[in-house]
Amino acid sequence: MTETSTANEARPMSTAGAGTASELSVRGLAVDLGGRSVLRDVNLTAGAGELTGLIGPNGAGKTTLIRSVLGLIPVRAGEITLGDGSARAARSRVGYVPQRHEFAWDFPISVADVVLSGRVGAIGWLRRAGVADYRAANEALDRVGMSHLARRPVGELSGGQRQRVLVARALALRPALLLLDEPFTGLDIPTQELLTDLFTELSGEGRSLVMTTHDLAAAMYTFDRLYLINRTVVADGAPAELRNPDVWIRAFGFRAGSPLLDALGVA
């Protein structure tokens, strides 16, 4: 387990790495939004075949971290390395599942077309999809069990079905790294179990998955490695290594003796 990382010298942002040991490496990341510090000195590694969880209270910077990796927001300092390719090649190997409310579900588009849109990073803008793109989209629909609804308008789907469509859209890119922002929020237990099994299968295939979640109890049993985040990395390690209640109190503001600590098995 690592607690409160030491300060790193700020380095320029990069998406080209020096090795292949990890699909994702974040070093000394600092992000300011609206004139205030949101993340500082964040260090994180997510290797190929690992299921990595990001947990922390609301406003801790988990979504900001994911968006920084995607290049969607500017960073003040730090280095982000994706694989060992060029910036463009690296980004094309990253799949992203946003929070469900961020998608315009009232837009008149079919399930199949939403999933196919996940191939834009490989096809390029203003270019037509080819046979390989349709094949990848169909395979992604199969992986999430949504092929039978391919022609249905997305606005007619249930919450669980919508989440599976977003996962399929990310998988259509055939990513080496999959970033998921709160994929279980508002889902029933069967859908959560279906997606958990899928994510475990994907990591078993050698993909790197990084996921934010508020389900702390499930996180202790699901992930290979956890990062407790509150503006910075408070602690990280395999769940079995995170049994010190002090790091949970620091990350989440739990009071000493809280029954939540008992529920997590860290009291």
Q: What is the pLDDT of residues 115-152, one digit of tens each?
A: 999 888 766 667 787 899 999 999 999 999 999 999 99
Confidence of residue 1 (pLDDT cuts 50, 70, 90): low
The CA distance from 17 to 26, in Å, is 11
pLDDT of residue 168: 97
What does the pLDDT look like over 175-231, one tens digit per residue?
989 999 999 988 999 999 999 999 999 999 999 999 999 999 889 989 999 999 999
CA 55 – CA 181 distance, rounded (Å): 11
> Measuring CA to CA, how many Å separate 220 from each of 6, 58, 234?
25, 19, 16
Q: Is the pLDDT of residue 20 over 80?
A: no
Identify the band that residue 163 occupies on the pLDDT scale cut at 50, 70 and 90: very high
Cα–Cα dist 229/208, whole Å = 19
Is 90 exceeded by the pLDDT of residue 21?
no
Over residues 68-101, the pLDDT tens digits come to 998 899 999 998 888 775 444 566 789 999 998 8
pLDDT tens, position by position, 226-263: 999 999 999 999 999 999 999 999 999 998 888 888 88
**CB 160, CB 78: distance < 8 Å:** no
pLDDT of residue 124: 67
Domain positions in the chain: 1-93+175-253, 102-174
Between 86 and 52, the higher pLDDT residue:
52
DSSP bridge partners of 233: 229
Query: Are residues 163 and 136 in contact, defined by beta-carbon separation less than 8 angstroms?
Result: no
Residue type, 218: A
Give a three-class secondary structure readout of the chain.
CEECCCCCCCCCCCCCCCCCCCCEEEEEEEEEECCEEEEEEEEEEECCCCEEEEECCCCCCHHHHHHHHCCCCCCCEEEEEECCCCHHHHHCCEEEECCHHHCCCCCCCEHHHHHHHCCHHHHCCCCCCCHHHHHHHHHHHHHCCCHHHCCCEHHHCCHHHHHHHHHHHHHCCCCCEEEEECCCCCCCHHHHHHHHHHHHHHHHCCCEEEEECCCHHHHHHHCCEEEEECCCEEEEECHHHCCCHHHHHHHHCCCCCCHHHHHHCCC
Q: Measured between alpha carbons, how far is 171 from 65 in angstroms, rounded to an integer?
A: 21
**Residue 41 pLDDT > 60, yes or no?**
yes
pTM comes to: 0.86
At residue 16 the predicted structure's pLDDT band, cuts being 50, 70 and 90, is very low
* pLDDT computed for residue 62 by the predictor: 96
Give 1-93+175-253's CATH code, choosing from 3.40.50.300, 3.40.50.620, 2.30.110.10, 3.40.50.2300.
3.40.50.300
Check residue 90 and give its pLDDT.
Answer: 66
Q: Give the separation between CA 122 and CA 178, rounded to whole angstroms.
A: 15
| The pLDDT of residue 85 | 52
Q: Catalogue the long-range contacts made by 244-251 (C-beta closer than 8 Å, 24 or more residues apart).
A: 244/1, 247/1, 247/3, 251/55, 251/56, 251/57, 251/60
